[in-house]
Structure 1
């Protein structure tokens, strides 16, 4: 056997040093592309899974500037190196990785140990343990504007939402505004907004604290502010829909637009409400909320707030929206209507 010469050893060392950057680049590439999924049509995607919510999984890849969005039901195989917050439909939470066991079940793993075996339908939420702020944020804004030369009629409306979700809590908000101006007629304005914080407990229970604001000319309400706290429970939660109830107490502070002996009114109320969200219908999403407020300090008075929204998704994160909101008060301000409602159509964008 020929002995290695000094020149051979030097060349070998040089080759090793030249290959080291390539080796580390490959290791870096493997680490960056640690998650793999295969679809039922045979396509495979390698990248970094960011999240899965409402039946849609987001995965970032090096070959696309935009995140891919994949229907959760279309995934046939899944293997992750990313660690996630994983939530099941019975509100159990896990920290770990995912690995497909068969075509219907996935394993929740942590450092080689199996924490749980779940069906695909039982997994309703994933979020990376190191997400960017925008990965936890959701938002939408829809606008519309109408102008008619006759009587110089101008109408403008906005219907918008925003939300942020963490491991054990979430905050959501909405802002809906409609304004109408016409020569020879009083201006019409209707504003409805809210902010809600939810804290998730065991067995699909959650605590809730919220503030609602309402202003409308039909009921002579300059501003109604309702602060409430309570407890709720989801009757079911899947990656296609959720339905829950909540109840508690609230404080109602009203300022009326009409002058009089009592321009303000304060009262204590109870509240009980229900919210239904459907988002597993291809490009269609539906949400409905109904809340009743029986008064605790004004005998016989009760109010109802109801909202209903439909969104149809378009390419480029655009959508068409239809919204309906109604407010009812069986004991309104003198000379005011008992109810006010609005239909809003909009063209918008969502995050």
Structure 2
């Protein structure tokens, strides 16, 4: 019966003229036919010609896969293949254009991306908003967290922009803005090259603007359909402009960091990373950037997120603080 259903699914895919069809067979025997858009963070996305919305399915719920689309495939070991995918005797068979047949288990595949994805299909974006009004002292607070990016088989660009504005009677207003632009180029065996520009403006640290430009290399130590853990490091050039001060600073720093992301815990996901900057030109100065995000997914691509952003400076400017942090809880949407 199961073989009949698979044959029927493949037949339906052959008569459709809209897509280069792929078929996924669930553990319960159901079949979905369409075009695979991606596999990442343990979730496979497939587009069909009978729904306006893409379907997202846990990769662990897929028993068999058959593709006609040409895919970029990445394994837990960091090996990259280009070709199609089919199932044979419970194993996935990668039909690589150069190496021929490679047999792997389902859990060894951590990433799938079509080679012919359109420009808009490679984009992602999300925005979180928070707004608080309190009658006491006429307190008002606005928060915004946003991100966007573009992914290809070999490189990616990621952007973040976050704002906190807070005001109340008889107290100075608080303003904090941070963000970054990061470019990553993928190398074999889960290594990558990264170039990134970070910026921070904070009334608490008396910073008009800190601009930190850094380059380095990184490696994914673990990347599965449940989590990833990576390390990276390099050198950076830090420029700081302070409020009302003539002693602005420039310094060269080393940097090293680690990031951890868990995404197979039901509707929850956890992302945390830390970067340490020991100065090479300012004696005994160390800076630390830390981020923590916990997200709960809601229907229709909405979610609720709570997160911590912390910046530490062992030698702040006179009148500034060593530690500046923001804890935000917000409602967001992504695509």
Shorter-chain TM-score: which interval? over 0.9
- Answer yes or no: is 1:315 the counterpart of 2:302: no
1:19 maps to: none
1:325 deviates by 0.8
Contact 2:13 2:34 in 1 (8 A): no
- Answer yes or no: is 1:213 the counterpart of 2:187: no
2:70 maps to: 83
The alignment covers a number of residue pairs equal to 324
1:229 deviates by 0.5
1:1-30 per-residue CA deviation (whole Å, 9 max, x = no partner) reads xxxxxxxxxxxxxxxxxxxxxxxx996516
SS in 2 for 1:73: helix
2:6 maps to: none
**CA distance in structure 1 between the aligned counterparts of 2:232 and 2:295, rounded to whole angstroms:** 25
Which of residues 261, 283, 289 in structure 2 aligns to 1:305? 289
TM-score by length of 2: 0.93
The gaps in structure 2 that reach 5 residues or longer are: 1-11
The 5-angstrom pairing of residues 94-243 of structure 1 reads: 94-103=81-90, 105-110=91-96, 114-243=100-229
1:31 deviates by 6.8
1:338 maps to: 322
Contact 1:319 1:348 in 2 (8 A): yes
The 5-angstrom pairing of residues 284-299 of structure 1 reads: 284-299=268-283
1:61 deviates by 1.3
Distance 1:27 1:112, change over 3 A: farther
1:185-211 per-residue CA deviation (whole Å, 9 max, x = no partner) reads 111011110111111112211111100
Consecutive aligned runs of 4 or more in structure 1 exceeding 6 Å deviation:
none
The gaps in structure 1 that reach 5 residues or longer are: 1-24
- Answer yes or no: is 1:278 the counterpart of 2:269: no
- Which shows bigger deviation, 106-115 or 198-207? 106-115
**CA distance in structure 2 between the aligned counterparts of 1:236 and 1:227, rounded to whole angstroms:** 27
- Answer yes or no: is 1:57 the counterpart of 2:34: no
- Answer yes or no: is 1:68 the counterpart of 2:52: no
Higher Rg: 1
SS in 2 for 1:331: coil
- Which shows bigger deviation, 318-327 or 55-64? 55-64
2:240 maps to: 254
**CA distance in structure 2 between the aligned counterparts of 1:331 and 1:32, rounded to whole angstroms:** 59
1:71-101 per-residue CA deviation (whole Å, 9 max, x = no partner) reads 1110111111111111112221111110012
- Answer yes or no: is 1:244 the counterpart of 2:230: yes
**CA distance in structure 1 between the aligned counterparts of 2:294 and 2:277, rounded to whole angstroms:** 25
TM-score by length of 1: 0.88
